[in-house]
Structure 1
């Protein structure tokens, strides 16, 4: 190897070492800042969590949280307000394998354009809400998912004032409640601790692809 090649290699090595040193210093500084922030975050509480928006993933995210609870051995529950008529993968998994930890109540009868009966939809939603209140009030449950309740609220099958009042006055302090569905009411967003809006960028339905097992249900 020539002296020029040696010099070039040394320069490259020095440059890499310099980059590593700068990166290490940057990450050390970031860690100090993060540790300082984390030191102020010592509290715990039961959260009101809203998953809304036109994009996919609202229910999927909620069920992911339920799986986490199950993995930790925390008792939890699900109330489905719309998809009760569907044979979903999450329903099979939770009732078939984790029924001792997760209660699953399928109260809905399908989307409104399927039932075509407003009175029937209202009755199903109200029955679901009564069950939800029983579950939320149980301090032994760590998390309760109210899947697609935002749809029932959007169509005024349930009174938003009643839902907000119950969540703010009757929910045990350490119980997490997750509410999913498009078009979450502003009143619900106002009282929530965590709100995530799923943004639609692309959807296979627009390309003629129907809902498929393992993706949508």
Structure 2
């Protein structure tokens, strides 16, 4: 009986592999992608920093421009600045979460500084991947003009440069130009049970 099950499984997997190989043979185009990570679930920035680690592993120079979070000491900022400064440039543009700064004028100025840095990194021919962490929050509050951001990414991003934009409430203009959009959905979160943010999980 087990031999029959194994034989049917092998035959099925051979068909799957043949179909997959045929499909992959047609996927030959390469380009720098615009990726958007959004949604109310956890994991948007975490996924972005996972790709930064992949880039470092592949010897691809990369950069992070962090909006909103400000001086918050996160594990990813510490390790990238202390151990991978040559492989990944790390810029902090924000001054903290919007409910902490409580100063829209300063928030706008910080976002504009961050966007100027972002454009420099994206246009730098040495940089192959740029993570714009929490830029969607700056766009949500209209600290930046989403039309300008979308137009720059569409018209001026170098052909082979990847750009990842994270944060909740990504605007339709970004979704329209993106090559890949992932929406993290919230099913459960410990914060709703009164559990504080945990080191190594949240920051």
TM class, shorter-length = over 0.9
Q: Which runs of 5+ in 2 are unaligned?
A: none
Cα deviation digits, residues 114-134 of structure 1 (max 9, x gap)? 000000000000000000000
Counterpart of 2:162 (choices 164, 167, 176) is: 176
Counterpart of 2:191 (choices 189, 198, 205) is: 205
Q: Is the 8 A contact 2:44 2:167 kept in 1?
A: yes
- Which residue in 2 is equivalent to 1:85? 71
The alignment partner of 1:179 has SS state of strand
The alignment partner of 1:108 has SS state of coil
Cα deviation digits, residues 132-169 of structure 1 (max 9, x gap)? 00000112111000000000000000000100110011
Cα deviation digits, residues 31-68 of structure 1 (max 9, x gap)? 00000000000111000000000000000000000000
The CA deviation at 1:73 is: 1.0
The CA deviation at 1:84 is: 2.2
Kindly indicate whether residue 2 of structure 2 is the aligned counterpart of residue 16 of structure 1.
yes
Q: Is the 8 A contact 2:70 2:97 kept in 1?
A: no
Counterpart of 1:46 (choices 29, 32, 49) is: 32
- Which residue in 2 is equivalent to 1:141? 127
- Which residue in 2 is equivalent to 1:57? 43
State the alpha-carbon separation in 2 of the partners of residues 85 and 166 from structure 1. 28
Cα deviation digits, residues 1-21 of structure 1 (max 9, x gap)? xxxxxxxxxxxxxx1010000
State the alpha-carbon separation in 2 of the partners of residues 106 and 70 from structure 1. 19
Q: Which runs of 5+ in 1 are unaligned?
A: 1-14
Runs of 4+ in 1 over 6 A off after TM superposition: none
- Which residue in 1 is equivalent to 2:178? 192
Normalised TM-score (structure 1): 0.93
State the alpha-carbon separation in 2 of the partners of residues 16 and 44 from structure 1. 44
- Which residue in 2 is equivalent to 1:152? 138
- Which residue in 2 is equivalent to 1:126? 112
State the alpha-carbon separation in 1 of the partners of residues 70 and 193 from structure 2. 27
The alignment partner of 1:63 has SS state of helix
Counterpart of 1:98 (choices 77, 84, 88) is: 84
State the alpha-carbon separation in 1 of the partners of residues 50 and 201 from structure 2. 13
The alignment partner of 2:127 has SS state of coil
Kindly indicate whether residue 104 of structure 2 is the aligned counterpart of residue 109 of structure 1.
no
State the alpha-carbon separation in 2 of the partners of residues 53 and 95 from structure 1. 28
Bigger radius of gyration among the two:
1
- Matched length: 203
